[in-house]
């Protein structure tokens, strides 16, 4: 089995920074291994889980990634876990592979196959397992969710946070909604590290399609109005999230602001990592701890999936 390539780290000074050491999300498709080989050894690589492909493909891909020298983080979709025995088997399997981090989601299946209708129920069940992964992540939805109202999302996020170690946001295309949400959550008492979910480098038309399919709030409204973000996305050449990263840099400190970046790559890892190389100037100098302070006039926003 081929190991991860020994590619140089992004940080010119050798320090790990929120920009230099991001998370990369991959889909368990035929090109996953080739995409992963574009990353340096030890990179954090998460693996999605869909009703179409099931948990088995996600777990198999995560096992390969871990054995190849990456830090694998499988997505565990609650609605695809049958029962306690099935969950215990998953936890044992992850432990045997040396995987100590998992990302718990409700999942996109229309109906649960077993006793776990949402991520909260799965988190509660995992808490009772001695072999559970040492770290568990949960999703959050700064721009809302097409199937859940803001009050429900907030209630579930608060409940999930008691069982989790970190948060990853939905795919965001603009910094302002994410930062407004972050301010509101910090005021509410959320102390978990938060990773900003951002798009990797991709074709602009693909980005528009994903935004509409995911039903993302303000970004989607801008797309549908046919101006603003849409005008920028439909320019020639591929999309690069420079403006988004510029907007997030002031709070990308690994502390009370944002803990780091989570790239939704859609398996276009090489293009995203090459783009990150151009940000060496932004990440080379070590920055002081966060001075992020919630505004007093911010408003609450939406959050995570049940």
Let me know if residue 284 belongs to a domain: no
Which pLDDT belongs to residue 14? 38
Whether residue 74 lies inside any domain: the answer is yes
Expressed in angstroms, the distance from the first to the final Cα of the chain is 37
Q: What is the CATH number of the domain that holds 273?
A: 3.20.20.220
When pLDDT is cut at 50, 70 and 90, the band that residue 214 belongs to is low
3-state SS of the chain?
CCCCCCCCCCCCCCCCCCCCCCEEEECCCCCHHHHHCCCCCCCEEEECCCCCCHHHHHHHHHHHHHHCCCEEEEEEEHHHCCCHHHHHHHHHHHHHHCCCEEEEECCCCCCCCCCCCCHHHHHHHHHCCCCCCCEEEEEECCCCECCECHHHHHHHHHHHHCCCCEEEECCCCCHHHHHHHHHHHHHHCCCCCEEEEEECCECHHHHHHHHHHHCCHHHHHHHHHCCCHHHHHCCCCCECCHHHHHHHHHHECCCCCECEEEEECCCCHHHHHHHHHCCHHHHCCCCCCCCCCCCCCCCCCCCCCC
Domain count within the chain: 1
Q: What is the pLDDT of residue 21?
A: 87
Share of the chain above pLDDT 90, in %: 64
Least confident of 76-80, 187-191, 214-218, 238-242: 214-218
Of 40-44, 176-180, 236-240, least confident by mean pLDDT is 236-240
For residue 49, being part of any structural domain is answered with yes
Residue-level pLDDT at 218: 60
Identify the domain containing residue 253 by its residue range. 23-279
Q: Is residue 185 part of a domain?
A: yes
Residue 258 has a pLDDT of 95
168/260 Cα distance (integer angstroms): 9
Do the domain assignments include residue 82?
Answer: yes
Identify the pLDDT of residue 15. Answer: 47
Is residue 153 a part of any domain in this protein? yes
Quick check: is 224 in a domain? Answer: yes
At residue 206 the predicted structure's pLDDT band, cuts being 50, 70 and 90, is confident
Does residue 306 lie in a domain region? no
Evaluated on CA atoms 38, 255, 286, 100, the torsion sign reads negative
Looking at residue 228, what is its pLDDT?
58
Instruction: Please tell me which residue, 269 or 19, carries the higher pLDDT value.
Output: 269
Task: Enter the pTM of the model.
Answer: 0.83
**With bands split at pLDDT 50, 70 and 90, how would you rate the model's confidence at 203?**
confident
Would the pLDDT of 284 be above 70? no
């Amino acid at each position: 089995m081929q190991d991860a390539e020994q590619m140089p780290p992004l940080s010119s000074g050798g320090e790990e920074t929120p920009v230099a050491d991001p998370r990369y999300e991959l889909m368990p498709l035929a090109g996953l291994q080739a995409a992963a080989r574009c990353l340096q050894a030890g990179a954090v690589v998460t693996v999605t889980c869909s009703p179409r492909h099931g948990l088995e493909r996600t777990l198999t891909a995560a096992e390969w990634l871990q054995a190849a020298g990456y830090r694998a983080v499988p997505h565990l979709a609650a609605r695809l876990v049958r029962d306690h025995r099935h969950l215990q088997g998953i936890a044992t399997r992850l432990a045997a592979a040396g995987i100590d981090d998992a990302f718990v989601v409700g999942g996109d299946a229309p109906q649960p196959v077993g006793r776990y209708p949402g991520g909260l129920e799965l988190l509660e069940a995992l808490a009772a397992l001695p072999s559970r992964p040492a770290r568990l992540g949960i999703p959050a939805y700064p721009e809302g969710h097409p199937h859940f109202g803001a009050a429900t999302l907030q209630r579930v996020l608060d409940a999930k946070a008691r069982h989790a170690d970190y948060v990853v946001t939905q795919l965001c295309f603009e910094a302002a909604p994410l930062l407004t949400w972050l301010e509101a959550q910090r005021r509410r008492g959320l102390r978990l590290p938060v990773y900003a979910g951002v798009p990797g480098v991709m074709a602009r038309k693909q980005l528009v399609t994903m935004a509409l399919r995911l039903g993302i709030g303000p970004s989607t409204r801008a797309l549908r109005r046919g101006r603003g973000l849409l005008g920028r996305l439909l320019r020639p050449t591929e999309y690069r999230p420079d403006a988004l990263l510029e907007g997030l840099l002031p709070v990308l400190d690994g502390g009370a602001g944002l803990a780091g970046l989570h790239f939704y790559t859609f398996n276009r890892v090489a293009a995203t990592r090459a783009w990150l190389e151009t940000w060496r100037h932004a990440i080379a100098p070590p920055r002081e701890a966060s001075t992020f302070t919630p505004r007093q006039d911010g408003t609450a926003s939406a959050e995570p999936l049940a």
